[in-house]
Structure 1
Amino acid sequence: MTQDHTAPNWPQLADLRGKRVLITGASTGIGAAAARAFGANGARVGVHYNASRDKAEAVAREVEAAGGKAVLIGGDVTKSAEIPRIMAEALSGLGGLDVLINNAGGLVKRVPVTDYDDGIIDGIIDLNIRQVAHFMREAARTLIAQGTGGSIVNVSSVAARIGGGPGSVLYAASKGFISTATRGWARELVKHRIRVNAVSPGVIMTPFHERYSTPEQLVAMQAGIPMDRLGQADECVGAFLYLASETLGSFVTGQILEVNGGQYMP
């Protein structure tokens, strides 16, 4: 199933105009949808990518066509030494930072517990935990130094609530870390007027599921969703806009916002 990239009629939030927004993993899927939506709200968007430069360039063009400004930033987030450089390029290109969307992450590979080895364990930790912690550090230092407050939105997953599907327990656990740490970071940074929240998508049809889930698995997942359908990347974007906006979300921090069609109701 392919995502229709026709630009939705996004709500216009005046306070997002001119905001400096860095989105990791913004070349495809939910990150790309978020980049387009922030662009439509007149934001300056750092479009981060790793291997998918062509797709990132296409997203950047869409951001600009929608009325925003785009800055392309490449780099492998699983290499810790790259992250300060990625952030420095974002700050230079955007002129500072107001919002960080920690979207980069992934399943890596479906592996049953009997086949765990250091490669899969380290790979999941590097992609879903370590790099997020490093970006949190860089963003916190930047926002505290600026003294203007800001918003950080991490990306968790419904898998954190239900333990994941076949072969994805370690991924689910890594997203559980994100949900828990988001609450702790929110408490730690609130005195600096930095709000920290997370969006927790359910089964969203992006390259993630196109790569890791079989048609049979997707049918089984859909059967557990009260709305009886799979989600689309654009359906997650309202949550990011809400949490980034001071007009709408100024009293919201430490929250995990579920976007899952009713699959999990906390």
Structure 2
Amino acid sequence: MPDVMIVTGGSRGIGAATAILGAKAGYAVVVNYASNREAADKVVAAIAADGGSAIAVRGDVGVEADILAIFEAADRFGTLTALVNNAGVVDAALPLAEMSAARLDRMFRINVTGSLLCAREAVRRMATSRGGKGGGIVNLSSVAAKLGGPGQYVDYAASKGAIDTFTVGLAKEVIDEGIRVGAVRPGIIDTDIHASGGQPNRVAELGPGLPMRRAGTAEEVAKAILWLLSEEASYSTGAIIDVSGARSILP
């Protein structure tokens, strides 16, 4: 059976780029999506056109039953050896004083609890003590975890700070199970997540003022993710890589 990679939120942006590179690296890829089946199907078609293997699987990582269904689909596809915890949400820019409990619940349920539950299911399948082959888990953090997102996204930043801590802790927890765990902290990346946060022009506005005078690309982040999953990173676990063009040192 082929080695399988699950990419949550794999229908767009960093997730789509990771799915495509993962297929090139030899994985059979589960392209998870929450609602946009057409976008997920396009990623699957692009992989198939390049000779790879992929399926689209619907599931909201904020719902445990959906997470279980995603992993069950992966079990039918092959042997899970890679998980990319990419699915996440942002919301409209607001100060904390204006945020509702419903917003905070959604943010942490998807960005944090969803990632932990996906990792739980991955560990159950990959752990050598449970008969697994081992593997790798890469979590998507954000430079916001360092910068704090004041006045705009302190909830998002806090959720990504939790991902950083989780990455280090899980890496130590499963180090004897043949599983490596890492994370990538993107900076300003040219994807449509900014539009979902109510700032569709954010990349154009911030890009020229960044240290490298441009935003990053989804492919640049995806390459870091694939490196962490590869044998080239065989001595790297608990590592968190900034792919931010040095933005982490600026406000």
Q: Which amino acid aligns with 1:62?
A: A
In the alignment, structure 1 residue 148 sits paired with structure 2 residue 133: yes
Q: Which amino acid aligns with 1:160?
A: A
Residue 41 of structure 1, aligned match among 22, 25, 29: 25
**Paired residues of 1:42 and 1:67 also in contact (CA < 8 A):** no
Query: For the residues of structure 2 that align with 1:29 and 1:125, how far apart are their CA atoms?
Result: 21
Query: For the residues of structure 1 that align with 2:126 and 2:157, how far apart are their CA atoms?
Result: 29
In the alignment, structure 1 residue 107 sits paired with structure 2 residue 90: yes
Aligned length: 247
- 1:152-197 superposed Cα distances (whole Å, 9 cap, x missing partner): 0000001001002542100000000001110000000001110000
Counterpart in the other structure of 1:172? 157
Counterpart in the other structure of 1:264? 248
**Paired residues of 2:24 and 2:52 also in contact (CA < 8 A):** yes
Counterpart in the other structure of 2:174? 189
Counterpart in the other structure of 1:11? none
Counterpart in the other structure of 1:54? 38
Structure 2 stretches lacking a partner, 5+ long: none
Query: For the residues of structure 1 that align with 2:11 and 2:67, how far apart are their CA atoms?
Result: 17
**Paired residues of 1:36 and 1:66 also in contact (CA < 8 A):** no
| Alignment of structure 1 residues 196-235 onto 2, 5 Å | 196-212=181-197, 214=199, 217-218=202-203, 221-222=206-207, 224-235=209-220
**3-state DSSP of counterpart to 2:174:** helix
Query: For the residues of structure 2 that align with 1:49 and 1:129, how far apart are their CA atoms?
Result: 17
Q: How far does residue 240 in structure 1 lie from its aligned partner after superposition?
A: 1.2
- TM score, norm. by length of structure 2: 0.93
- TM score, norm. by length of structure 1: 0.88
Cα RMSD, aligned residues only: 1.8
Q: Which amino acid aligns with 2:41?
A: E
**3-state DSSP of counterpart to 2:193:** helix
Q: How far does residue 224 in structure 1 lie from its aligned partner after superposition?
A: 4.9
- 1:16-46 superposed Cα distances (whole Å, 9 cap, x missing partner): xx53111000000000001111122232101
In the alignment, structure 1 residue 64 sits paired with structure 2 residue 41: no
| TM-aligned CA distance change 1:241 to 1:32, over 3 Å | same
Query: For the residues of structure 2 that align with 1:154 and 1:143, how far apart are their CA atoms?
Result: 16
Counterpart in the other structure of 2:59? 75
In the alignment, structure 1 residue 124 sits paired with structure 2 residue 107: yes
| TM-aligned CA distance change 1:215 to 1:141, over 3 Å | closer
**3-state DSSP of counterpart to 1:209:** helix
